[in-house]
Structure formats: C-alpha cells, structure tokens
Amino acid sequence: MLKVETLRTAHQLDALKSRWQWLENHCDCTLFQSYELNRRAAEWFASREAPHVILAESDSGLTIIPAVRRERELGLIGETLFDYRDFLSAGDPAILEHAWRELAQAKLPLKVTALRGLQTRARWSSLLPSEFCNAPATRCCEITAQQFTTAHHKSAKASRRLAREGLRLVRREANLGGIAEWLYRRKAEWSGKSENLFRDQMRQEFMLNIIHNNISISEIWTYETFTHSIVAALLTFRHRSRRHFYTIHHDSRWDRFSPGQVMIFDVTRESLAEGLDVDFMTGEYPYKNRLATAMVPLFRVAANPEQLAAWGTGAQETARPAA
C-alpha cells in the first residue's frame, strides 16, 4: 500500500530516523544527506526555510526528498552550508515519482545547488540539471603520498619552511570546541574576494553546534607555535573513504608564509598516506586545482512545479524551465 506524506516540522523527522539511516546505508549519498545533519539543520534554520520533507513508501520502495519551503521557492535542507544535495530513494522508481508529484503540490519552483558528479546528475536528469562548477579532488588510487610530495616540491619546501619558523601540524579529533570557536569567530572577520558565509551568526553557531555534538566525524588540523598559539586551522569531515576540507582560516600576520595553502598540502599528504581520498569542496581556486588529480562536476537544478509533477513521464523535456 502506497503512503505519501509531507512533514512540516523538524520534530516530525524523528519518526523517519531508522528509515532515513537505512537509505543512507543503501544509497550512493554524501555526508550532507545524513539524517543527523539534516535533522539538526531542519530545526536550526526553520525560521529561514521551513521543513517540507516528502516521504513516499510502499512494500516495494522508499523515498525521502529532504525539501524545505522558502519565501518564494523550494530547496533542500542545509541553508547555504551543504555543498552537495540529493534525494534518497531505493526500490520501485514509481515511488520516487509519487514523491515528486507530492512536492509539486506546493506550486513553487525548486532550486538546488549543487548535485555532485555525473551519477547524481543522471538521477536528476528529469529536471534537466545545468553545469555549475567543479569540486577539485585528489584520489589515492591516482597518486601516492610520496608521489604527491614529489609532484608538489614547492609546497613541500614551504611546509619545511614553516617548520623552521617553529610551527607544527597538530591534528585533533576530540575536545574541538575551543579551536572551533577560534576558527569560526576569526573566519567571520575575514574579508576577501569571495562571499564570507560565516559573517552570519546563525551559520557560525550551527557549525559550532555540529562540532560540539559530534554530529559528523570531524577533525581540526592546526599549525601552532611551541607556545600553542594558533596560526591556521582547517576543519575536515570524514565520510566513508573520503576526507572533506570544509573551513580554513589563518592568522593574517603570517600571510607571507601562506599557511592556509601549505596546510591544504600537508593535510592532503597525510590523507593520502592514510588511504583516503580528498575532496576540496565547491570552488575552483588555483591553490586547490594545483593539488587536484580530478575535477568532479557539480550541477544546479531550477525546475517549475510542472516539471516536478512530470518526473518520470518524459514530459520534462518540453516543460519550460523555471526562471
């Protein structure tokens, strides 16, 4: 028997926990599709984007679309902080079609940034994803830690220079609160060419809450002096066989040594030595591209309600894209 419903509060998601986590383990998803992260974000940002999560299930399939309702559009949970978006679905494709039709009943356009990789794009092909940018990555199947060091000898030299200046690389997996506070409060003060998402107090507090409550497998790497003064810090998340580089900041008094860029090199080298792939996340900055062995394409979706309702019928190709 088919059951389709819309969940409009974060607390209603509690009843989905076991099913959501089952999908996590059976779908090709990223850390940003985890139940714990989505549950926390759904509640935290409810004043900006109200949960509008679609559940469709039967004996032959299960689908969850972690949607939210904003003022003039639909999106997926995560405000601006989740780099990669996706639905979770297993079993009969018809169940997924019913879920999209339920979402279409909101009569609002859907905007999603970003889908990660060609396989995810293929799953969303009914909504005609468009190219967004790339996420640089370094894969341990393509280069070893030693080969990486040899290939980037200038970065290795810069790392040794920092060591001569008295800095050491420190990795923390527990008691991260104080360092996280340093990272996000300093990051909020940063001014650069790109938008600084963490000037926003609510986003800062969300990240500190995630770290404090161990919602994801997080680590903070620092360069520190022998007196324990922090020069640079990098927050990473571990998901399956991949380490995601999420937030980095350094003390501007050390600008001439480029400690942030050197840290990216050092932690990438450490990750490869551990047998982990590295995801430098959204954005093709030269310092990321230089170290990458691959570019993972990212995509956007902008779809109107008619396209959502037509999922799986073949009518999407003639439907007019959302503005």
Whether 3-133+297-318 and 140-292 share one fold: the answer is: yes
The pTM for the full model equals 0.93
Contacts (Cβ under 8 Å, ≥6 apart) of 150: none
Render each residue's pLDDT in the chain as its tens digit; 323 residues. Answer: 999 999 999 999 999 999 999 999 999 899 999 999 999 999 999 999 999 999 999 999 999 999 999 999 999 999 999 999 999 999 999 999 999 999 999 999 999 999 999 999 999 999 999 999 999 999 999 999 999 999 999 999 999 999 999 999 999 999 999 999 999 999 999 877 677 899 999 999 999 999 999 999 999 999 999 999 999 999 999 999 999 999 999 999 999 999 999 999 999 999 999 999 999 999 899 999 999 999 999 999 999 999 999 997 654 443 333 33
**CATH code reported for the domain at 140-292:** 3.40.630.30
pLDDT in tens, 255-283: 999 999 999 999 999 999 999 999 999 98
Q: Quickly count: other Cβ atoms within 10 Å of residue 115's Cβ.
A: 23
Show me where the domains of the chain are located.
Answer: 3-133+297-318, 140-292
**Amino acid, res. 278:** V
**CATH code reported for the domain at 3-133+297-318:** 3.40.630.30
pLDDT in tens, 309-320: 999 765 444 333
